[in-house]
Structure 1
Amino acid sequence: MVFNFIGKKVRLSRILRSGRAVVFAFDHGVEHGPKDFPSEHIDPKVILRKVVDAGVDAVMLLPGMAYLTHDVWANKTALIVKVTSKTNLRPEDQRMLQSVFGYVEDAIALGADAVAATVYWGSQYEDTMLSMWFSVREAAERYGLPCLQLAYPRGPAIKNMYDVEVVKYGVRAAIESGADLIKTYYTGSRETFAEVVRVAAGVPVLMSGGPAREKPMDFLVDVKNVVEAGASGVVVGRNVFQHKNPSGMIKAIMAIVHDNKEPEDVIKYVE
């Protein structure tokens, strides 16, 4: 019997509760440093408690942060453990390389529902990250854990990483490398992102939230566009934890993703 197939199916259903998901990404402390967080959110439990209590579908944490905050998220939301990362303290020419930040066994020990790893498609270190990805995927497959690939086309040869053809290329590479879920860049319109979703061939696509928008309505419109394009939701960080009302932002995003609400109807949650 192939038990791992069932395990993966069950765990995916915990994340994609309605076939869609809003995932709170919280790996920025390593990728960008503490400067990313407003002073009231330097304590990670403060912001995590707000988004978990607001009903977010899943949180994506590095292993150490998952350990430190288990009393906040455990039995309240799904957990995705990201096992690769990198700092911006390293030399600039090496910032296109993700490093090992944990193992699939760490994710299992923490009670995770999925694991995540980044591949910078087009980077000069693409081959190294692919080796890490396949090691993660092989171990996760053995234990029935879904694998989220952060499929980011990024590197010196890529002039515009948001270009629809570039994003589609990264998504195609993600499905061909065995991703169960894909997080990728928003291409700027519903029509172009629909092309990205089509390339994914049924593998759920989640929009990367990106930098915080000056006007929350602009981000909510993006969320609406990607959902209407056929995406399975969003992975959002800075547009929530850098906002003055993180709980309201989560509630607004959830209403669009799960209930097909219009941005105009949910902006009241954040104003």
Structure 2
Amino acid sequence: MSLARITDLLGKEADDLLSYQCKTFPKEQLHTPSPDFVDRVFALSNRNPQVLRNLQAMYDHGRLAGTGYLSILPVDQGIEHTAGASFAKDPLYFDPENIIKLAIEGNCNAVATTFGNLAMMSRKYAHKIPFLVKLNHNELLTYPTKYNQIMFGTVKDAWNLGAAAVGATVYFGSEQSDRQIIEVAEAFEEAHAMGMATVLWCYTRNNAFKKDGVNYETSADITGQANHIGVTIQADIIKQKMPDVNGGFTAINFSKSDPLMYSKLSTNHPIDLCRYQLANCYMGRAGLINSGGESKGASDLADSVKHAVVNKRAGGTGLILGRRAFQRPFQEGVDFLHTIQDVYLAKEISIA
């Protein structure tokens, strides 16, 4: 896809998003994606050679191979949002083989989905695309609905089915977050010992984070701190929602903050908000991938291209996009993934 096509999809925001220069954290202080990212960052860490090999396998797979960027297809919605609600638009995906086929045809770096999906297709596909096994989920069959991530399998199970990496979610700010942090930290330690990379869905969830009609669960300051806890428990890659607001700590009046967080370290510009998230990922030593969000229909492609541009220009590592790809006909989903990847392949789009 040409830069003209990207510019067209960005619409009236194109000039601002493509030419904006960040004055908060200088890009020279960041550890930005590059072909030698694993060598520059993780080869200096405590990660063992097997982890380095599996990280490199993900970075070297698909259309973005050798760029330092990642395009991952995540499909854990069969548990997180119920299979019916997730796959009704295209029942093809009740069969897990088609999830993996979409990731392969979409030239993704990896496919992230459930134990059941990957175990069922393990021998056919584990050597054809890196597997990222989601360890925990929020099940939706409890009434009234509760929001609590619980383990669905073991790290050894993930290793046995050929996983290159494991993923998990922590609902930071929720009643059960302490237990989730402990469980995930232990699981990530075991995964690293067995040679697998680790990816953390650093989501915040608390009804008290919603005030005066604003949802601060996607606030840059709150999600940034969630990221910082995530890299503290040794996540190699952080998955986070795109920030669309700031000042959650001060609006809710909790935790600790500094006025410089809002005057010097960030602004209301989307690239600055995303860069604040990245700064909390050890200045990019752990890659930041932003999630695609729910499918809204006709606006999905333009919205996702905008998110990709914001993530890339902030110094992030890519998008992890699921529903917007699999909740449409198969070939449209493939084309959708390719369009987002084109943003990361466009050399004209630089880090702000």
TM-score over 0.5 (shorter chain): yes
| Per-residue deviation, 1:213 | 3.5
Partner of 1:219: 304
AA aligned to 2:71 is V
**SS of the counterpart of 2:217?**
coil
Q: Aligned partners of 1:52 and 1:181: how far apart in 2?
A: 21
Unpaired runs of 5+ residues, structure 1, are 263-271
1:27 aligns with 2:110: no
Partner of 1:198: 279
- Asked whether the equivalents of residues 48 and 72 of structure 1 are also in contact (C-alpha less than 8 Å), the reply is no
Residues 56 and 261 of structure 1, relative CA distance in 2, 3 Å threshold: farther
Partner of 1:254: 341
Unpaired runs of 5+ residues, structure 2, are 1-44, 61-66, 211-215, 245-269
Q: Aligned partners of 1:116 and 1:227: how far apart in 2?
A: 22
| Per-residue deviation, 1:192 | 0.8
TM-score, normalization by structure 1: 0.89
1:12 aligns with 2:55: yes
1:128 aligns with 2:179: yes
- Asked whether the equivalents of residues 122 and 157 of structure 1 are also in contact (C-alpha less than 8 Å), the reply is no
Larger radius of gyration: 2
**SS of the counterpart of 1:112?**
coil
Residues 137 and 26 of structure 1, relative CA distance in 2, 3 Å threshold: same
Partner of 1:178: 234
Alignment of 1:92-171 (within 5 A): 92=144, 94-95=146-147, 97-159=148-210, 160-171=216-227
**SS of the counterpart of 2:171?**
strand
TM-score, normalization by structure 2: 0.69
AA aligned to 1:180 is D
| Per-residue deviation, 1:206 | 0.7
**SS of the counterpart of 2:116?**
helix
Residues 260 and 27 of structure 1, relative CA distance in 2, 3 Å threshold: farther
Q: Aligned partners of 1:136 and 1:166: how far apart in 2?
A: 24
Which range is displaced more, 118-127 or 152-161?
A: 152-161
AA aligned to 1:129 is Q
Of all paired residues, the percent bearing the same amino acid is 23
CA deviation digits over 1:240-259, x for unaligned, max 9?
00133111011112222244
Residues 119 and 229 of structure 1, relative CA distance in 2, 3 Å threshold: same
AA aligned to 2:238 is I
- Asked whether the equivalents of residues 213 and 219 of structure 1 are also in contact (C-alpha less than 8 Å), the reply is no
Q: Aligned partners of 1:226 and 1:164: how far apart in 2?
A: 13
Partner of 1:36: 86
**SS of the counterpart of 2:316?**
coil
- Asked whether the equivalents of residues 304 and 340 of structure 2 are also in contact (C-alpha less than 8 Å), the reply is no
1:234 aligns with 2:319: yes
| Per-residue deviation, 1:175 | 1.4
| Per-residue deviation, 1:211 | 0.5
Residues 247 and 194 of structure 1, relative CA distance in 2, 3 Å threshold: same
AA aligned to 1:87 is E
AA aligned to 1:6 is P
RMSD over aligned Cα atoms: 2.0
Q: Aligned partners of 1:25 and 1:183: how far apart in 2?
A: 11
| Per-residue deviation, 1:93 | 5.6
Q: Aligned partners of 2:117 and 2:348: how far apart in 1?
A: 33
CA deviation digits over 1:205-258, x for unaligned, max 9?
110111113311121111121111111111111010013311101111222224
| Per-residue deviation, 1:176 | 1.7
| Per-residue deviation, 1:72 | 5.7
- Matching residue within 118, 132, 140 for 1:88: 140
Alignment of 1:66-85 (within 5 A): 66-70=118-122, 73-85=125-137
- Asked whether the equivalents of residues 149 and 182 of structure 1 are also in contact (C-alpha less than 8 Å), the reply is yes
Residues 198 and 185 of structure 1, relative CA distance in 2, 3 Å threshold: same
- Asked whether the equivalents of residues 4 and 143 of structure 1 are also in contact (C-alpha less than 8 Å), the reply is no
Q: Aligned partners of 1:221 and 1:250: how far apart in 2?
A: 14
Residues 72 and 158 of structure 1, relative CA distance in 2, 3 Å threshold: farther
AA aligned to 1:230 is G
Q: Aligned partners of 1:70 and 1:225: how far apart in 2?
A: 35
